[in-house]
């Protein structure tokens, strides 16, 4: 009997999403509560808390949790966790809330009640606190000093901009989630809860499952990473982000269509499951790689594929910093509190003309001039500018879908190339 990796935290899946009579009763109660808007990032975090994707979290973090995560990768109770999950309101809004009070969390974009929350703590986030969080979460090893980091981060790092634009007070406390927003309908058949992916893996008899994180359309390098994973595991979970990205990134529905095409034409379908999850990218590089592994454990994955510049942006992180960070994190001894999902570390991959196939720096002895260097950023830049794709960059069926998408755009965002995209 196949046995999947247990959910993170040692408590099983911590699901805060209400259903049936309990949902209807809480929705009714929410109408009489003070209402506060959530940001797109907070909305995605809420849904992950609701479905068990963020197990063992049952709500937004306390100050002790926040500080422990920033400084030591640990929640206040000693459980490993790599990135703050917080909810902010303005000082004026915070003044209207009493500790112990229940409030309603509202999505202004959809005019929908997302959750109720029992506020157990309020703590101010000064400019210095926000900078502390940014430096701990987003500053890679390539940046020598905080001064160097801030010279470029405020303008060029979307994750930093997200944190610095948060309101002045964080609210902590458990939540009851009332909705999964548009995801179950907009991405029907792709968006899934952890309990659903686990059920699929169990039905297939899988125990070793590798996850591939995707925010770009699958090019040949992604395909190669997946096929390596299929060789060493029972199956691969191609898990796409269907939440918000930065301007210029390709929308989820287009990426899903590309994956469908690739899986049908170039994979043994029984060895692949495609899924989607509702988070916004934080672009936190190494820390985000750890978050990806943490919640993939909740989805039933024992391995997380980590290649070059995982979850990076610009030149903020070292090329393989997202791999080496796994060797440096704390490993709590208490059962369930350590990260169990381990990295499947794969070197820089590319097509080599002399090898006549996909290869990596570990397997190919040839020079840069023989290689077609593959990156999602380069793919987007070439497509957005109508450039010619190098041979073996992507499958023609996928490129056709992407060309059609770009041809229909009325406004185009300039795509900046960084070191990891150009091979420098």
Mean pLDDT of 389-405: 87
| Tens digit of each residue's pLDDT (9 = 90 or more) over 275-295 | 999 998 899 999 999 999 999
Last residue of a domain, one of 179, 204, 223: 179
With contact defined as beta carbons under 8 Å apart, do 372 and 392 qualify? Answer: yes
How far apart (Å, rounded) are the C-alpha atoms in residues 343 and 423?
A: 23
Question: Does 43 share its domain with 192?
Answer: no
Question: Does 199 share its domain with 303?
Answer: yes
Q: How confident is the model at residue 421 (pLDDT cuts 50, 70, 90)?
A: very low
pLDDT over 50 at 359, yes or no: yes
pLDDT of residue 94: 98
pLDDT of residue 335: 92
Q: How confident is the model at residue 416 (pLDDT cuts 50, 70, 90)?
A: low
Query: Domain with 340 in it: what CATH number?
Result: 3.40.50.620
Q: Is residue 329 part of a domain?
A: yes
Query: Domain with 88 in it: what CATH number?
Result: 3.10.400.10
pLDDT over 90 at 136, yes or no: yes
Question: Does 265 share its domain with 395?
Answer: yes
Question: Does 174 share its domain with 206?
Answer: no
pLDDT of residue 414: 57
Q: How confident is the model at residue 1 (pLDDT cuts 50, 70, 90)?
A: low
Question: Does 258 share its domain with 384?
Answer: yes
pLDDT over 90 at 15, yes or no: yes
Answer with the residue of higher pLDDT: 246 or 277: 277
Strand pairing report for 357-360 and 112-118: unpaired
Average pLDDT for the chain: 92
Question: Does 46 share its domain with 188?
Answer: no
| Tens digit of each residue's pLDDT (9 = 90 or more) over 24-52 | 999 999 999 999 999 999 999 999 999 99
Mean pLDDT of 338-354: 95
Integer CA distances (angstroms), 136 to 151, 160, 285, 343, in order: 16, 11, 12, 21
pLDDT over 70 at 393, yes or no: yes
pLDDT of residue 330: 98
For 116, what's the count of Cα atoms within 13 Å in the CB-facing half-sphere? 20
Question: Does 382 share its domain with 311?
Answer: yes
pLDDT over 80 at 374, yes or no: no
Domains held by the chain: number: 2
Nearest CA among 66, 299, 106, 303 for reference residue 198 = 299
Question: Does 111 share its domain with 221?
Answer: no
Q: Is residue 297 part of a domain?
A: yes
Q: Is residue 144 part of a domain?
A: no
How far apart (Å, rounded) are the C-alpha atoms in residues 35 and 93?
A: 10
pLDDT over 60 at 350, yes or no: yes
Mean pLDDT of 135-140: 94
Q: Is residue 46 part of a domain?
A: yes
Answer with the residue of higher pLDDT: 162 or 413: 162
pLDDT of residue 246: 67
Known catalytic residues?
215-216
| Tens digit of each residue's pLDDT (9 = 90 or more) over 319-339 | 999 999 999 999 999 999 999
Question: Does 116 share its domain with 234?
Answer: no
Question: Does 114 share its domain with 173?
Answer: yes
What residues make up the domain containing 38? 20-125+166-179
Question: Does 175 share its domain with 246?
Answer: no
pLDDT over 70 at 306, yes or no: yes
Q: Is residue 6 part of a domain?
A: no
């Amino acid at each position: 009997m196949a046995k999947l990796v247990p959910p993170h935290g040692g408590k099983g899946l911590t699901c805060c999403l209400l259903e049936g009579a309990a949902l209807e009763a809480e929705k009714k109660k929410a109408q009489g509560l003070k209402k506060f808007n959530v940001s797109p990032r907070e909305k995605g975090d809420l849904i992950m808390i609701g479905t068990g994707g963020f197990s063992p979290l049952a709500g937004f973090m306390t100050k002790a949790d926040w500080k422990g995560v920033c400084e030591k990768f640990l929640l206040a109770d000693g459980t490993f966790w790599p990135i703050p999950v917080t909810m902010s309101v303005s000082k004026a809004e915070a003044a209207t809330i009493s500790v112990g009070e229940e409030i309603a969390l509202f999505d202004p974009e959809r005019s929908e009640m997302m959750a109720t929350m029992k506020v157990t703590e309020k703590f101010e986030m000064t400019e210095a606190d926000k900078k502390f969080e940014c430096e701990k979460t987003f500053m890679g090893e390539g940046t020598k000093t905080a001064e160097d980091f801030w010279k470029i981060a405020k303008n060029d790092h979307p994750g930093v901009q997200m944190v610095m634009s948060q309101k002045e007070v964080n609210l902590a406390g458990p939540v009851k989630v009332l909705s999964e927003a548009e995801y179950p309908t907009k991405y029907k058949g792709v968006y899934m809860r952890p309990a659903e992916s686990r059920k699929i893996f169990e039905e297939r008899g899988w125990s070793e499952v590798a996850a591939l994180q995707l925010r770009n359309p699958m090019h040949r390098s992604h395909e190669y990473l997946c096929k390596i994973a299929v060789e060493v595991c029972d199956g691969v979970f191609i898990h796409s982000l269907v939440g918000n990205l930065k301007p210029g990134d390709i929308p989820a529905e287009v990426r899903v269509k590309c994956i469908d095409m690739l899986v049908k034409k170039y994979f043994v379908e029984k060895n692949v499951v495609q899924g989607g999850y509702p988070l916004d990218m934080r672009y936190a590089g190494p820390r985000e790689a750890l978050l990806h592994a943490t919640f993939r454990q909740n989805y039933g994955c024992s391995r997380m594929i980590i290649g070059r510049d995982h979850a990076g942006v610009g030149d903020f992180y070292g090329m393989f910093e997202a791999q080496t960070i796994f060797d440096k994190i704390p490993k709590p001894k208490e059962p369930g509190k350590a990260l169990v999902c381990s990295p499947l570390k794969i070197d820089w991959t590319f097509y080599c003309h002399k090898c006549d196939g996909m290869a990596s720096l570990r397997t190919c002895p040839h020079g840069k001039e023989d290689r077609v260097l593959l990156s999602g950023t380069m793919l987007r830049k070439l497509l957005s500018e109508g450039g010619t794709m190098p041979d073996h960059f992507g499958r023609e069926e996928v490129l056709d879908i992407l060309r059609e998408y770009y041809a229909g755009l009325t406004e185009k965002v300039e795509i900046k190339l960084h070191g990891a995209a150009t091979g420098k």
